[in-house]
Amino acid sequence: MSAKRDDIQQQLEQLRASYLAQLQQGWSDVMAEAGQLLEADNSGWQSIAQALKLRFHTLAGSAGTFGLPELGQQAKALEMELGAWLDIDRRPDLTSKQQFLERVQELSNHSSHQQQQLPSTLFQPSDDEFTRKARILVFSKDGQLGQQLHSALEPFGHQVQSVQQLELLRAAVLERQPDVLMLDMPQQRVPQGLKTLINTMQKDEQHPTVLFVVGEKESFAHSLAAVRLGAAGYFIKPVNAAAIELRIQRLLTKRQQARFRVLIVDDDVMLARHYQLIIEQAGMEAKVVNDPAKMLIGLQGFQPDVILLDVNMPECSGPELAQIIRFKDEWLGVPIIYLSSETDSQRQLDALVKAGDDFISKPITDQALAVTVFARAQRARQLAEMMTRDSLTGLLQHATVKDRLSDEIAKAKRSKQELVVAMLDLDHFKKVNDQYGHLIGDQVISSLANLLQQKLRKTDVIGRYGGEEFLLALPDCSLQKATDILNNIRQSFQAIPFSAQEQSFSCTFSAGLARVDTQLSSDENIERADQALYKAKHNGRNRVELA
Between the CA atoms of 204, 208, 213 and 218, what dihedral angle is there, to the nearest 10 degrees? 110
Surface-to-core class of residue 249, CB atoms within 10 Å of its CB (0-12 exposed, 13-18 middle, 19+ buried): buried
What pLDDT is attached to residue 130? 40
Residue pLDDT, tens place only, 74-97: 888 888 888 888 887 677 777 887
Surface-to-core class of residue 145, CB atoms within 10 Å of its CB (0-12 exposed, 13-18 middle, 19+ buried): buried
Domain ranges of the chain: 3-107, 135-256, 261-388, 398-546
Percent helix, percent strand, percent coil in the chain, to nearest 5: 55, 15, 30
Does 350 score more than 70 pLDDT?
yes
Reported in sequence order, the residue ranges of 293-434 that DSSP labels E, i.e. its strands, are: 306-310, 336-340, 358-361, 419-426
What top-level class would CATH report for the domain 135-256? alpha beta
Does 115 score more than 70 pLDDT?
no
In 10 A of CB 174, how many CB atoms?
8
Q: Please check whether the two domains, 261-388 and 398-546, share a CATH topology.
A: no
Expressed in angstroms, the distance from the first to the final Cα of the chain is: 57
Provide the CATH number for the domain formed by 261-388 in this structure. Answer: 3.40.50.2300
Determine which one of 79, 342, 468, 469 is catalytic: 468
Does 128 score more than 50 pLDDT?
no
Look up residue 38 and give its amino acid. Answer: L
What is the reported pTM?
0.68
Stretch 473-481: mean pLDDT: 96
Tell me the pLDDT of the chain averaged across its residues. Answer: 86
What pLDDT is attached to residue 127? 47
Look up residue 317 and give its amino acid. Answer: S
CATH superfamily of 398-546: Reverse transcriptase/Diguanylate cyclase domain (3.30.70.270)
Surface-to-core class of residue 192, CB atoms within 10 Å of its CB (0-12 exposed, 13-18 middle, 19+ buried): exposed
What pLDDT is attached to residue 521? 93
Q: Do residues 60 and 72 lie in contact, with contact meaning Cβ atoms separated by under 8 Å?
A: yes
Helix axes 318-325, 295-302, angle to 10 degrees: 50
Helix axes 345-353, 318-325, angle to 10 degrees: 20
Does 523 score more than 90 pLDDT?
yes
Laid out side by side, the sheet with 336-340 consists of: 285-289, 261-265, 306-310, 336-340, 358-361
Q: How far is CA 399 from CA 340, 385, 463, 529, in A?
A: 41, 14, 9, 17
| Residue 468 designated active-site | yes
